[in-house]
A and B are shown apart, each in its own frame.
Chain A
Amino acid sequence: KAGVTQTPRYLIKTRGQQVTLSCSPISGHRSVSWYQQTPGQGLQFLFEYFSETQRNKGNFPGRFSGRQFSNSRSEMNVSTLELGDSALYLCASRQGASNGYTFGSGTRLTVV
């Protein structure tokens, strides 16, 4: 059974640019969540999608957005990149609200 797949693994962008990250959940998992991980703040919740609908959203500015497609694949977009957006972005899927997450390996974003 394939795990959660995130692409790309590494990304370098310039301040002011925008970026799109992709996540393919485990087959059959309809819930996809995104987290930002930094050394100073740890893992912080960005948003959660279920059946193409955003169910929850963390405390991040509107530059951070996401969506989920009918096949449960998800993308997140960050516009007008800032240096502080440099982080490991993790996607996780789960079967239901009472199940634990399965995480992907993440996308390491560096903003220069």
Chain B
Amino acid sequence: TQLLEQSPQFLSIQEGENLTVYCNSSSVFSSLQWYRQEPGEGPVLLVTVVTGGEVKKLKRLTFQFGDARKDSSLHITAAQPGDTGLYLCAGAWAGGGADGLTFGKGTHLIIQP
């Protein structure tokens, strides 16, 4: 079974601080996606990265795909209470297979005012 490990599992910081969330695997992804989920709702797609070394920015969020396409990170600058939520990474394996997207277990992020 291929695994996607996210860290940290929980993170609580003050408004205005910076943070980084990591997503790692021993296998290679063909693509990786980041989602944000709020209580009682489904995940919402933030970004898709496809090319090794790719960096994408979405306002205060910066997403990076590792050169070897085995890992990714999400960096939030000057976090705000509205950033609170469950952040999920999800990968499609380069070897294909019948497993759909594999999700990490997520990072529960709380930004305190």
Which chain A residues have a beta carbon within 8 Å of chain B's beta carbons? 4, 33, 35, 41-45, 47-48, 55-58, 90, 92, 98-106
Contacts and interface: CB of A to CB of B under 8 A. Distances in A.
Interface of B: 31, 33, 35, 40-45, 48, 88, 90, 98-106
Given A57-B98, A58-B99, A103 B104 contact: no
A105 B41 contact: yes
B42 A48 contact: no
For the residues of A in contact with B, the DSSP-based class is strand
A34 to B, nearest CB: 9
Given A42-B106, A100-B33, A105-B40, A56 B45 contact: no
B91 to A, nearest CB: 12
B33 A103 contact: no
Contacts of B35: 103
Contacts of A90: 42-43
